[in-house]
């Protein structure tokens, strides 16, 4: 889980608004299908990572997204990454004891969002992540 959360002042307004609107829309879809009411706690962005996004469903309903990847792949985020992350929150509400990519999450991906339950993204992450120096040992 990346820890390099960007302060709101470093996040452009348009991506922030687009992402928040899509998260809210995914919650509305889930509410209709599950009859469970979800609280929207916001979207936060991080950088210097190859992860697309994450949630901490045991703590809150915040969706954390990789700003650099979001800006490069907005359509992918709107179509799959954001529903994937919201599905974690929904699955946790349905079955609090289940692991992150378990049976309930897979069911939510398929039955609520009509998406394949894929764990990992395939976006190009070249140039992202932390710079790591490689040393030659002689």
- Show which residues are catalytic: 85
Contacts of 92 (CB under 8 A, 6+ apart): 57, 58, 98
Q: 82-94 and 13-34 are packed helices; what angle lies between their axes, rounded to 10 degrees?
A: 40
130, two tokens: 């932390």
Q: How far apart are CA 56 and CA 89, in angstroms?
A: 8
């Amino acid at each position: 889980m990346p820890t390099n959360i960007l302060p709101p002042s470093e996040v452009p307004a348009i991506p922030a608004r687009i992402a928040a609107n899509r998260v809210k829309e995914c919650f509305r879809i889930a509410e209709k299908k599950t009859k469970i009411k979800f609280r929207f706690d916001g979207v936060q962005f991080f950088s210097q990572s190859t992860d697309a996004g994450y949630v901490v469903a045991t703590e809150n309903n915040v969706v954390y997204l990789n700003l650099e990847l979001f800006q490069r792949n907005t359509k992918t985020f709107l179509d799959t990454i954001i529903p994937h992350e919201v599905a974690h929150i929904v699955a946790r509400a349905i079955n609090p004891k289940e692991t992150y990519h378990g049976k309930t999450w897979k069911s939510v991906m398929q039955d609520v969002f009509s998406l394949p339950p894929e764990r990992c993204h395939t976006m190009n992450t070249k140039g992202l992540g932390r710079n790591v120096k490689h040393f030659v040992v002689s």
